[in-house]
């Protein structure tokens, strides 16, 4: 899952970025509204953390432009104070949730997890696919109830497929959602991660669709 953080306070942006990375997200950071708007409309993010008071273009305008262009990724806004009018305008412009500064990092992470989960149509933080279970809070994976150890990138691939169950996801799409903008992307590495996931989770959990990509499918025998 890849998250964009648009926040002009450099130290705060760094802290949020670090917390998100530790939680297993891929993170891009932008320090002004112009750059943030550009990234949000050209890169495929799974969620955005958007400050409202930003240089060049303010956060509400950025959000408004994204929504008018049809970008529907979940957006969590950061408001500087308990200002109800800012929150109302934020929701009216298409924000999905907000936190008020100063905020608790755990709360920000919990809200973001919930947003990403809901946009994937999942109601709970534990996701199942047959014998595989992913706890999105802890990032822990189990197979038939037994813990499985995954590397950060393997977890990112599995998590993305879990959030898009029963849909074929191309290698390019996976690449775009697990690497940040500065990474020298090579979609061949995806194949390597899929191979390792199959070794750890069993050969049938991830399906290959020739020339199209991969999918995780909910088991057909359980109706
Ligand atoms: Ca600000």
* Alpha carbon of 92 to ligand 1 centroid (Å): 20
Q: List pLDDT tens digits, range 111-124.
A: 999 999 999 888 78
* Alpha carbon of 182 to ligand 1 centroid (Å): 24
Predicted local distance difference test score (pLDDT) of residue 223? 40
Predicted local distance difference test score (pLDDT) of residue 83? 74
Q: How far is CA 67 from CA 40, 61, 112, 136, 205, in A?
A: 11, 10, 19, 27, 36
pLDDT (mean) for 141-163: 95
pLDDT (mean) for 89-113: 93
Indicate the length of the chain as a whole number: 223
* Alpha carbon of 88 to ligand 1 centroid (Å): 18
Is the pLDDT at 191 greater than 80? The verdict is yes
* Alpha carbon of 160 to ligand 1 centroid (Å): 30
Contacts 24+ apart (CB under 8 A), 92-100: 93/60, 93/63, 93/64, 93/67, 94/63, 94/64, 94/66, 94/67, 95/50, 95/63
* Alpha carbon of 16 to ligand 1 centroid (Å): 13
Band of the pLDDT at 81, cuts 50, 70, 90?
low
Is the pLDDT at 219 greater than 50? The verdict is yes
The fold of 126-221 is: Arc Repressor Mutant, subunit A (1.10.10)
Percent of the chain with pLDDT over 70: 96
Is the pLDDT at 183 greater than 90? The verdict is no
Predicted local distance difference test score (pLDDT) of residue 186? 73
pTM assigned to the model: 0.89
pLDDT (mean) for 20-44: 97
Question: In the chain, where are the structural domains located?
Answer: 2-119, 126-221
* Alpha carbon of 123 to ligand 1 centroid (Å): 32
* Alpha carbon of 32 to ligand 1 centroid (Å): 9
Mean pLDDT over the full length of the chain: 92
Predicted local distance difference test score (pLDDT) of residue 222? 44
CATH top-level class of 2-119: alpha beta
Q: List pLDDT tens digits, range 48-67.
A: 999 999 999 999 999 999 99
Peptide bond into 102 cis (omega under 30): yes
Selected residue with higher pLDDT from 215 and 80: 215
Predicted local distance difference test score (pLDDT) of residue 32? 98
* Alpha carbon of 40 to ligand 1 centroid (Å): 17
* Alpha carbon of 106 to ligand 1 centroid (Å): 20
* Alpha carbon of 75 to ligand 1 centroid (Å): 16
User: What CA dihedral angle connects 211, 190, 159 and 118, to 10 degrees?
Assistant: -50
* Same fold? 2-119, 126-221: no
């Amino acid at each position: 899952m890849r998250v964009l953080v648009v926040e002009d306070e450099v130290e705060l942006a760094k802290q949020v970025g670090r917390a998100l990375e530790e939680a297993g997200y891929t993170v891009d950071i932008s320090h002004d509204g112009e750059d943030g708007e550009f990234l949000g409309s050209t890169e495929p993010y799974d969620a955005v953390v958007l400050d409202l008071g930003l240089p060049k273009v303010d956060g509400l305008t950025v959000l408004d432009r994204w929504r008018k262009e049809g970008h529907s990724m979940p957006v969590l806004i950061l408001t500087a104070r308990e200002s109800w009018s800012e929150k109302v305008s934020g929701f009216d412009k298409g924000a999905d949730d907000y936190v008020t500064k100063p905020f608790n990092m755990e709360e920000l992470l919990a809200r973001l997890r919930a947003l990403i989960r809901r946009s994937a149509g999942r109601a709970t933080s534990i996701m199942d696919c047959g014998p595989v279970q992913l706890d999105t809070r802890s990032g822990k994976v189990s197979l038939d109830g037994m813990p499985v150890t995954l590397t950060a990138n393997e977890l990112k691939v599995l998590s993305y497929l879990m959030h898009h169950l029963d849909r074929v996801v191309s290698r390019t799409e996976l690449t775009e959602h697990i690497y940040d903008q500065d990474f020298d992307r090579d979609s061949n590495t995806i194949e390597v991660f899929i191979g390792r996931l199959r070794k750890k989770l069993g050969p049938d959990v991830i399906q290959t669709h020739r020339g199209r990509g991969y999918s995780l499918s909910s088991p057909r025998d359980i109706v």
